[in-house]
Structure 1
Amino acid sequence: MQIPKYTRREFCLHSCQTLSLAAIASAITGCGGSPTSASTSFPALRTVNGSVSGGVVSLTIDASSPLASTGSAALVATSSGNFLVSRAGDAFTALTAVCTHEGCVVSNFQSGTYECPCHGSQYSTSGSVIKGPATRSLTQFTTRFANNVLTITL
């Protein structure tokens, strides 16, 4: 068996090409996987659509709404963004659905606790942080409920 003879230039070029391929393969492998890396047992919220007019979100709460019963919660999707809405009696709380850790949409809820599916931050229905990595509360909005219509003032 003959050992190939390389000039210094060929050796450096071959070595750099090999290292570059290894770096690219490593980067591609590292990019695999899901951004939702936190494991969660919290169920996903049902989504309802709200309409926006003049800085106010409106949605009807009827018997088929996921917000029809006390203790319930829903993700309200609008053209102005997504909101977390929970109900306690006839009182509603509306929060931004954007996690304060890295901006993922908070979309899971169980037993009065919202959970971000990306990194596991948990928030109370008032928006305060229960469990990190998030350190800031979710923004809360003023709500009003009358004649089966919930309004959220942005």
Structure 2
Amino acid sequence: MNRHDPEKPQNAEPENPRRQFLGQCTGALQALLFAGVAAPLLEACETSQVIAARGDSGSELNIVVSSLDADGKFLVTGDSERGLDDKRILIVRKAPATFLVMSMECTHQQCEVQPPVNNAINCLCHGSRYNLDGDVTAPQIANQAPLKRYQFTYDAARSIITIPL
């Protein structure tokens, strides 16, 4: 005689411990994969900040750098604040009043490089790599040039970098 359990619908599939186990493993694997992808992204967010810069009559770009509170910190201008080569600008703090201001245009085939991760600036187009000084560490062509550097002035009292365009 079949007994009917009132808690289970009659047409429900019987419990399958193997299926439950595989479902739990899949969930755990997804969590691990997310953590593996999220960790580098979160690390990059810790060290960079996309900012809004203002151009005065299109002749210069004024960028507040007060968020760069330690050596090695960097920031990248937003999509609307671009340099002469129409690429975003990377600013790296080297010392309390020393900065490097560089184009994010790869010198191999002019793709836009990625913001720094683990002290390396990578071009995803063809694999060129630069250090935080903009020097080539993994060239794709002989005598590949470093990232273009911009001339700038730094107003320490207002913590503003001005780049003439």
Give the TM-score normalised by the residue count of structure 2.
0.57
For residues 30-109 of structure 1, what are the structure 2 equivalents within 5 Å? Answer: 43=44, 45-53=48-56, 54-62=58-66, 65=67, 67-77=68-78, 78-80=81-83, 81=86, 82-89=88-95, 90-109=97-116
For structure 1, the 5+ residue unaligned runs are 1-40
Structure 1 consecutive aligned stretches of length 4 or more whose deviation exceeds 3 Å:
41-46
Q: Which has the higher contact order (CA 8 A, sep 6+)?
A: 1
| Larger strand share, 1 or 2 | 1
Number of positions where the alignment pairs a residue of Structure 1 with one of Structure 2: 111
What whole-Å deviation, never above 9, does each CA across 1:88-131 have from its counterpart, x for those lacking one?
A: 12211111111112222112313433112222211123322111
Which amino acid in 2 is paired with 1:58?
Answer: N
Distance 1:140 1:150 in 2: 14
Out of 103, 119, 140, the residue aligned to residue 133 of structure 1 is 140
The answer (yes or no) to whether the contact 1:46–1:74 under 8 Å persists in 2 is yes
Q: Secondary structure at the match of 1:87?
A: strand
CA 1:93 to 1:110, structure 2 compared with 1: closer, same or farther past 3 Å? same
The answer (yes or no) to whether the contact 2:116–2:132 under 8 Å persists in 1 is no
For structure 2, the 5+ residue unaligned runs are 1-39
Out of 126, 132, 149, the residue aligned to residue 160 of structure 2 is 149
The answer (yes or no) to whether the contact 2:90–2:115 under 8 Å persists in 1 is no
Q: Secondary structure at the match of 1:142?
A: coil
Give the TM-score normalised by the residue count of structure 1.
0.60
Distance 1:94 1:86 in 2: 7
Q: Secondary structure at the match of 2:152?
A: strand
For residues 21-32 of structure 1, what are the structure 2 equivalents within 5 Å? Answer: none
Distance 2:154 2:163 in 1: 9
